[in-house]
Amino acid sequence: MTDGFLRSEDAAPMAPGLVAALRGTELGVRRGTVEIAEPSPRWAQAFDGIVAALEPARPAEALAIEHIGSTSVPGLPAKPILDLAIGQQPGSSPQPLHEWLMSAGLLYRGEADERRPDRIYALELEPGIRLVNVHVLDHGSDQWRRYLAFRDHLRHRRADRDAYGALKRRIAREHPEDRFAYLQAKAAFITARSTGLSSPG
C-alpha cells in the first residue's frame, strides 16, 4: 500500500492547543529508547486536550479518535508516549487526514504495509523526543477492533493488567536502548490475550 507521502523530519509549527495539551503531562521518550513510567491521570487529560485541539479542523473522513495503548489503561505502567488511533472512512482518500495532521504540526513517520496496517504520525516538542504516536487506519478494520478490544480487556481484567505491567518492566530493563526488541518481546502476550476478543467498531 503506497500513499505517496514522504516521511517528514521537520514539522509545521505545532498548533497552540496541542502545545498546551502536552505541557506538564510527563510524556516523552527519546526516539529508539525504552523506559516505563508509573501510570498518570495526566495521560487521559492530555488525550482530551489533543482531541479538543484537533477537532475544529477535523475532516469528515476522520470518523473517530480513540485513546489506545498502555497510557489508555488506568493503573497500567507505560512507556510515556501517548497512542491515538484515528479511524478513517474505509475507501476514502488519505489526503484530507494527512493535510489536517501535518498542518497541526505533526510529523509523518511512515505508510501502512503488510506488517503495519496504520500510517504513523508523531508529535515531538523537541527533536527526537516522542510524546505522541497517531495511528491512522480504516475505521472498523480488524486492526482497529484489536486495538480497542485489547485496551478494553486490560481496563477490565486486573490480573492481566498487572501481568502485562510486570512484563513491560522486565523487558524494558532488558532492552533499554532497543525499542524493536521491546516490541517483539511483548508481542506474544498481546497476541495471546487478543485472540477471540472483539470490540465494537
* Residue whose C-alpha cell is 508481542: 187
CATH of the domain at 54: 3.30.460.10
pLDDT at 161: 97
Split at pLDDT 50, 70, 90, the class of 113 is low
**Residue 138 domain-assigned?**
yes
Instruction: Give me the phi and psi of 129, to 5 degrees please.
Output: -105, 100
pLDDT digit string, tens, across residues 97-110:
999 999 999 999 88
Domain that holds residue 178: 16-194
> 95: which 3 cell numbers?
489526503
* Rounded-to-integer distance, Cα 71 and Cα 78, Å: 6
pLDDT digit string, tens, across residues 119-177:
999 999 888 899 999 999 999 999 999 999 999 999 999 999 999 999 999 999 999 99
Task: Name the domain count of the chain.
Answer: 1
Nearest CA-CA partner of 189 in 174, 52, 159, 175: 159
Q: Are the C-beta atoms of 121 and 134 separated by less than 8 Å?
A: yes
Q: What is the average pLDDT across 87-114? A: 91
Q: In percent, how much of the chain has pLDDT > 90? A: 75
**Residue 2 domain-assigned?**
no
**Residue 128 domain-assigned?**
yes
DSSP-derived secondary structure letter, 116: -
> 184: which 3 cell numbers?
517483539
**Residue 6 domain-assigned?**
no
pLDDT at 32: 85
* Rounded-to-integer distance, Cα 54 and Cα 112, Å: 22
Q: Are the C-beta atoms of 120 and 113 separated by less than 8 Å?
A: no
**Residue 11 domain-assigned?**
no
**Residue 61 domain-assigned?**
yes
**Residue 83 domain-assigned?**
yes
**Residue 7 domain-assigned?**
no
